[in-house]
Amino acid sequence: MKIQRIRAIAKKEYLHIIRDPRSLIMGLALPMLLIFMFGYALTLDVDNVPLVVWDQSETPASRDFISRFEGSSYFSLKSYARDYRDIERAINRRDALVALVVPVDFGRRMEAGRRTTVQAIVDGSDSNTATIALGYAENIVRLYGRDVALEKARRLEGVLPRPPLDIRPRVWFNADMVSRNAIVPGLIAVIMMVIAALLTSLTIAREWETGTMEQLIATPLKGSELILGKLIPYFGIGLIDLALAVLVGRFAFDVPLRGELWLLLGMAIIFLFGALSLGMLISIIGKSQFVASQFALVATLLPAFLLSGFIFPIANMPPFLQLFTHIIPARYFVTILRGIYLKGVGLTMLWQEAAFLAVFGGLVRLVAVKKFKKKIM
């Protein structure tokens, strides 16, 4: 393997990227577009849930109860209903996700200290949001019931009794529990995986389609030198994308970076090598830019988005899919990025993921070199 040959191929690929605006747009503009689009549009936070209330009681007690929902950041009171038809109409029009029905005898029963029931109607067409919203409502009702019971005990006994059990929650790593802090690091991994594989999936296939592969075959150039030379320019683009993504995450989305920047860079280098090598292997097998690009999207976007733990927890997947996720490199890079970004952990906690990515990159490059044949097909 000669450095001069590798440098010559890298220069050739670099000039092609500079002269081809589509490559620059795909390599630099598209990742930024994706991170802004997904960063702003994709959120797992459930707040300002639209609420409609049918207050049949219309007493100070019922109004105090409803004010608990109005004062919560999780609910947004949209309107009052007069019957079930109003509730059905509001839910069908998506004007409300949750409806509360306060019974006629609510105030009387609460004053008497008797148990009463409030109906909560939830739109279950979005089951995840409905489950979270119902949990918020149940928590507000539970706290209201506790406050009423404590106030009644204070009036009877003259002192405010202390509850026998008290919980003091403390959230680590994401104290505000903002989903964006976990989404943006995972999004960086997904975008880098897709863009890196997509860019290099066109390189060898382009040489075959444009007829320049015959000229390369006629040279003393080895397959390993050709592959490495073509990887170098895209490696630089990947590092630029990483730097831009980190800056966007920090200054546009205010995502904290608690870990070491040098560790993030080192892990990204290992991951990029594997992702670029995977794209190169796809390009060698495909021999057509269209086939290679489509296969690269299927082989990277769907696994990275669905099976990496980026959005859907791996523990909730069927057992056979959980096993399959172990061969998805984005799974390990998502874990690495969240560990560095949110937890600030070091290499002692991430060495297993880093080792897998290094082995994956080495194996994929080895297979790519073996698959590349210097002969006219």
Domain membership flag for residue 316 = yes
Counting the structural domains of the chain, the total is 2
Most confident of 195-204, 233-242, 286-295: 233-242
pLDDT for position 122: 93
Contacts of residue 212, Cβ cutoff 8 Å, sequence gap at least 6: none
Q: Indicate the pLDDT class of residue 264, thresholds 50, 70 and 90.
A: very high
Do β-strands 119-122 and 98-102 pair in parallel, antiparallel, or remain unpaired?
antiparallel
Q: Indicate the pLDDT class of residue 160, thresholds 50, 70 and 90.
A: low
Both 191 and 333 in one domain: the answer is yes
Both 37 and 54 in one domain: the answer is no
Cα–Cα distance, 228 to 31 (Å, whole number): 23
Both 37 and 61 in one domain: the answer is no
Domain termination residue (choose one: 124, 157, 190) = 157
The model's pLDDT over 314-373, given as tens digits with 9 standing for 90+, comes to: 988 899 999 999 999 999 999 999 999 999 999 999 999 999 999 999 999 999 888 887
CATH number assigned to the domain comprising residue 86: 3.40.1710.10
pLDDT for position 377: 54
Cα–Cα distance, 44 to 61 (Å, whole number): 34
Domain membership flag for residue 86 = yes
Torsion angle in degrees (nearest 10) through CA of 92, 93, 95, 99: -10
Domain membership flag for residue 355 = yes
Domain membership flag for residue 173 = no
pLDDT for position 68: 92
Mean pLDDT of 15-37: 81
Mean pLDDT of 11-28: 79
Given a cut of 70, is residue 163 above it in pLDDT? no
Domain termination residue (choose one: 101, 125, 157) = 157
Both 141 and 217 in one domain: the answer is no
Cα–Cα distance, 59 to 63 (Å, whole number): 6
Domain termination residue (choose one: 107, 124, 157) = 157
pLDDT for position 330: 93
Q: Structure pTM?
A: 0.82
- For the record, the structure tokens of 182 come out as 């976990």
Both 237 and 280 in one domain: the answer is yes
What does each C-alpha distance from 201 to 17, 182, 219, 302 come to in angstroms?
14, 29, 23, 16
Both 31 and 86 in one domain: the answer is no
Both 134 and 198 in one domain: the answer is no
Contacts of residue 94, Cβ cutoff 8 Å, sequence gap at least 6: 50, 123
Both 89 and 190 in one domain: the answer is no
In the chain, % of residues over pLDDT 70: 95
**Contact criterion met (CB below 8 Å) for 236 and 272:** no
Mean pLDDT of 265-281: 92
Q: Of 208, 376, 204, which Cα lies nearest the Cα of 281?
A: 204
Mean pLDDT of 37-46: 81
Both 24 and 61 in one domain: the answer is no
pLDDT for position 343: 92
Could you give the angle at the alpha carbon of 235 between the alpha carbons of 234 and 239, nearest 5°?
Answer: 115
Domain membership flag for residue 170 = no
The boundaries of the domain holding residue 353 are 3-43+178-371
pLDDT for position 204: 79
Given a cut of 60, is residue 376 above it in pLDDT? no
Both 188 and 203 in one domain: the answer is yes
Domain membership flag for residue 337 = yes
Contacts of residue 252, Cβ cutoff 8 Å, sequence gap at least 6: 36, 39
Domain membership flag for residue 13 = yes
For the chain, the three-class secondary structure string (H helix, E strand, C coil) is CCHHHHHHHHHHHHHHHHHCHHHHHHHHHHHHHHHHHHHHHCCCCCCCEEEEEEECCCCHHHHHHHHHHHCCCCEEEEEECCCHHHHHHHHHCCCCCEEEEECCCHHHHHHCCCCCCCEEEECCCCHHHHHHHHHHHHHHHHHHHHHHHHHHHHHHHCCCCCCCCCCCCCCCCCCCCCCHHHHHHHHHHHHHHHHHHHHHCCHHHHHHHHCCHHHHHCCCCCHHHHHHHHHHHHHHHHHHHHHHHHHHHHHCCCCCCCCCHHHHHHHHHHHHHHHHHHHHHHHHHHCCHHHHHHHHHHHHHHHHHHCCCCCCCHHHCCHHHHHHHHHCHHHHHHHHHHHHHHHCCCHHHHHHHHHHHHHHHHHHHHHHHHHCCCCCC
Domain membership flag for residue 377 = no
Which tops the pLDDT comparison, 209 or 129?
A: 129
Mean predicted lDDT score pLDDT of the chain:
86
Which tops the pLDDT comparison, 106 or 198?
A: 106
Q: Indicate the pLDDT class of residue 161, thresholds 50, 70 and 90.
A: low
Both 237 and 199 in one domain: the answer is yes
Residue 321 burial (CB count, 10 A): 13
Q: Indicate the pLDDT class of residue 158, thresholds 50, 70 and 90.
A: low
Both 305 and 361 in one domain: the answer is yes
pLDDT for position 274: 92
The model's pLDDT over 67-126, given as tens digits with 9 standing for 90+, comes to: 999 988 899 999 999 999 999 999 999 899 999 999 999 988 888 778 888 999 999 988
